[in-house]
């Protein structure tokens, strides 16, 4: 059964932080032949918890989609590149996810396959991703980008971070919620969130976007 992992790196020290910055474009080349890995994205983060326009040089993320759990386990146990990355970090967290639903595309594909079975009481991870049209960048950042962090002021939200492959242009968010009901209340009742959705449709900001929900199977700190 497919498993998705999100790895959150917090690099320590200026040398390691700039090393991590250089890995954002390089990691894709260094993970191309990993057995069982079907989709990979290496991303940086912004300041202000990931939602600022200026980059954070300490926080980075990998999104990895695997054919099954055993292949993910083998990678994290043995891969020398991952081990080298981890040693440079003050903390590393791995989120193991089971897809509930997804729609849209990322680099031309939807990499996620929904799993059978429901976990009503499980925590839920929401992944959003969008490529902003180049000629819409100023409009987007003026109207939404600078206040994005305020969208995540919600009691049942446990964690949220903004990440992306390219600063300002390719944006993604990863958020952890206490349960599915909380996600639905936020999506359909939170006024700031509804306003952003309306603005997005009205202004046609995105050339590509994807939205996905997952159950959080487990969270591992290394």
Sequence-ordered list of residues with C-beta below 8 angstroms from that of 97, at least 6 positions apart, any chain: 3, 4, 5, 6, 125, 214, 215, 216, 217
Tokens of 167: 């600063």
Beta bridge partners of 40: 64
Contact 161, 174 (CB under 8 A): yes
User: pLDDT-derived band of residue 90, with 50, 70 and 90 as boundaries?
Assistant: very high
Is pLDDT at 214 greater than 70 in this prediction? Answer: yes
Distances (CA, A) of 194 to 46, 101, 151, 186: 23, 20, 10, 9
* Mean pLDDT score across all residues of the chain: 88
What is the architecture of the domain spanning 3-221? Answer: 2-Layer Sandwich (3.30)
Is pLDDT at 81 greater than 80 in this prediction? Answer: yes
Alpha carbons 158 and 25: distance in angstroms, whole number: 29
Is pLDDT at 41 greater than 90 in this prediction? Answer: yes
Q: What is the pLDDT of residue 48?
A: 66
pTM of the model: 0.91
| 67 or 192: which leads in pLDDT | 67
Q: What is the pLDDT of residue 205?
A: 84
**Within 10 Å of residue 2's Cβ, how many Cβ atoms?**
19
User: pLDDT-derived band of residue 15, with 50, 70 and 90 as boundaries?
Assistant: very high
Buried/exposed code over 53-71 (b: 16+ C-beta within 10 A; e: otherwise)? eebbbbbbbbbbbbeebeb
User: pLDDT-derived band of residue 37, with 50, 70 and 90 as boundaries?
Assistant: very high
Any idea where the domains of the chain sit in the sequence?
3-221
Q: What is the pLDDT of residue 146?
A: 54
The pLDDT tens digits of the residues spanning 46-61 come to 776 656 667 788 999 9
Q: What is the pLDDT of residue 136?
A: 82
Q: What is the pLDDT of residue 141?
A: 75
Q: What is the pLDDT of residue 175?
A: 92
Q: What is the pLDDT of residue 215?
A: 95
Q: What is the pLDDT of residue 148?
A: 60
Q: What is the pLDDT of residue 124?
A: 95
The pLDDT tens digits of the residues spanning 155-169 come to 888 998 889 888 667
């Amino acid at each position: 059964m497919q498993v998705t992992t999100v790895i959150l790196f917090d690099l320590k020290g200026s040398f390691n932080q700039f090393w991590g910055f250089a890995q954002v474009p390089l990691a894709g080349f260094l993970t191309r032949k990993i057995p069982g890995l079907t989709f990979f994205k290496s991303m940086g983060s912004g300041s202000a918890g990931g939602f600022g326009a200026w980059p954070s040089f300490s926080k980075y993320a990998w999104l990895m989609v695997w054919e099954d759990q055993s292949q993910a386990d083998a990678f994290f146990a043995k891969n020398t590149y991952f081990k080298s990355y981890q040693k440079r970090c003050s903390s590393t967290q791995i989120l193991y996810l089971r897809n509930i639903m997804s729609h849209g595309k990322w680099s031309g594909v939807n990499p996620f396959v929904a799993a059978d079975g429901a976990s009503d009481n499980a925590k839920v991870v929401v992944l959003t991703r969008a490529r902003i049209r180049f000629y819409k960048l100023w409009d987007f950042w003026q109207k939404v980008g600078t206040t994005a962090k305020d969208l995540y002021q919600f009691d049942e939200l446990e964690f949220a971070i903004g990440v992306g492959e390219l600063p300002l242009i390719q944006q993604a968010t990863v958020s952890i919620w206490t349960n599915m009901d909380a996600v639905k209340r936020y999506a359909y009742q939170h006024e700031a969130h509804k306003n952003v959705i309306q603005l997005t449709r009205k202004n046609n900001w995105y050339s590509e976007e994807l939205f996905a929900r997952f159950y959080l199977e487990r969270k591992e700190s290394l």
